[in-house]
Chain A
Amino acid sequence: MNAEYTPPLQPLSDTEIELRLLMEAIYLKYSYDFRNYTLASQKRRVLHALDQLGLPSISALQEKVLRDTALFGRLLQFLTIPVSEMFRDPAYFLALRRHVVPILHTYPSVKVWVAGCSTGEEVFSLAILLREEGLLERTQIYATDINPASLEKARLGIFPLEALRGYTANYQRAGGLNAFSDYYTAAYDAARFDPSLCADAIFADHSLATDSVFAETQLVSCRNVLIYFNRQLQDRALGLFHESLSHRCFLGLGSKESIDFSSYADRFAPHARAERIYRKGP
């Protein structure tokens, strides 16, 4: 007998069974693959969707969503997590400025992939940083997400004015060189960011669960996206990043994310450990 006691897993609850069937149905019908998202937060989001859509059960939602494409579009807004802010975790952007930008400067041209860009706050933050560091002119930014509504917002670069105070403080703590207000025009309750920042950026539909690598890149920034994936899907995404990155190039994750518990732990080395910036290769 093995001395270590392994507790039996709880049997799946009815709700969890319904949840799995719903994700299978969505995959078969719409090719969106949420089957390897973490269960706890997915369950919360679907139950919240039921509440908002006025449906009695996940099974009822499944029946409707199979036949109603518009309803799927609404459900997609619940299944993805469009929570983002500009210069979130300023220390991350400061570390990019100090420890990554100098190395990117040695490349004749640079490609940056913002994976899971949501509504674009991080894309515009990176564009500002790259412009201030004299790199934006020769950088191609790819900003990808699975949610078309989020991508549409990201392209516009219009963010609620009420959030700008916090963004300004973040920008300053991230080592910003100018007045943050230089980058946007405020009108009514929104701020429109300088369209020239992302004029050359490519915003595209791309799934870390089902699509493959599309370019060789020198920096992949994928923050607070992998936390919604189970380990199997995290490994798939990290595999794409590893494949996309040039030799000794950079991967940035969210401040509480880690590759330590993935199969890629020994294929990236910490570059700025506290800020979760890794470098490809041992």
Chain B
Amino acid sequence: MKKPPFSPDRQRVEAVVLGASAGGIDALSVLLDGLPANWRIPMTAVLHLPEAHESRLAEIFAQRLPIPVHEAADKMPLAAGSLYFAPPGYHLSIERERCFSLSCEPPVRFSRPSIDVLMASAADTYGSAVAGFLLTGANDDGAEGLHRIHLAGGLTAVQDPKEALISIMPSAAIARHAPDHVLPLRELRALLLQLESAHAH
């Protein structure tokens, strides 16, 4: 049975989840460039980085964006308008109570944090009211998680593999299911802004 395409006019998006690995910092910068200061939808990102290093992702993006940016902490509630990054060395999930939980379970697809873990938990928690974005990357983490969002009725969007620095991650997602959108970053950004205007209604 084919799921009806996600319609931003009729469906409200309560959360956005994002995943990327190789080339992800630059891709995410382009995607989120020019985000308005009155942004409302909470966004959570998993970027693969070497485990041993303290992550400076929140710091880097806090300087670039006009919205609050945090490293997600255990049981921290998701706040409107904020961007969160998974800490290195832990899986990150979104619980039903709309707060984060961390876990030291073994890596999934060689990754901890794993994009699949974050996206599957978001699908369970938000059902159709979540949008998943998967960008450039050098492995297939995220393909399963994005499919879970699709099955829950949420919106799935993938960076055009032709544009991605490394196409393995977006291509794996496209092989797993037909995403609602396969677009270059600038058009993904327009989509994101469209979700926000629907959210504000």
Q: What is A's interface to B at a CB cutoff of 8 Å?
A: 7, 9-10, 13, 16, 38-41, 43-45, 81, 83, 224, 226-228, 230-231, 234, 256-258, 260-262
Task: Report the minimum CB–CB distance from A117 to chain B (whole Å).
Answer: 14
Task: Report the minimum CB–CB distance from B17 to chain A (whole Å).
Answer: 13
Among A16, A40, A224, A261, contact of B75 (Cβ-Cβ < 8 Å):
A261
A38 touches B127 (CB 8 A): no
A40 touches B74 (CB 8 A): no
Between-chain CB contacts (< 8 Å), 15 pairs: A7-B129, A38-B93, A39-B95, A40-B93, A40-B125, A44-B105, A81-B103, A81-B104, A224-B104, A227-B104, A231-B75, A231-B99, A256-B87, A261-B75, A262-B75
B73 touches A40 (CB 8 A): no
Among A16, A83, A230, A260, contact of B104 (Cβ-Cβ < 8 Å):
A83
Q: What is B's interface to A at a CB cutoff of 8 Å?
A: 12, 14, 71, 73-77, 87, 89-91, 93-97, 99, 101-106, 117, 121, 124-127, 129
Alpha-carbon separation in the docked complex, A231 to B100 (Å): 11
B90 touches A40 (CB 8 A): no
Residue from the set A16, A38, A81, A226 with the largest chain B CB neighbour count within 10 Å: A38
Task: Report the minimum CB–CB distance from A58 to chain B (whole Å).
Answer: 14
Q: A81-B105, A227-B102, A227-B103 are in contact. Are A41 and B93 (CB under 8 A)?
A: yes
Closest chain B residue to A262, Cβ basis: B75
Task: Report the minimum CB–CB distance from A229 to chain B (whole Å).
Answer: 9
Alpha-carbon separation in the docked complex, A68 to B167 (Å): 48
Alpha-carbon separation in the docked complex, A38 to B103 (Å): 10
B74 touches A45 (CB 8 A): no
Residue from the set B12, B103, B121 with the largest chain A CB neighbour count within 10 Å: B103
**Those 5 A-B pairs whose CB atoms lie nearest each other, nearest first:** A40-B93, A261-B75, A40-B121, A38-B101, A41-B103
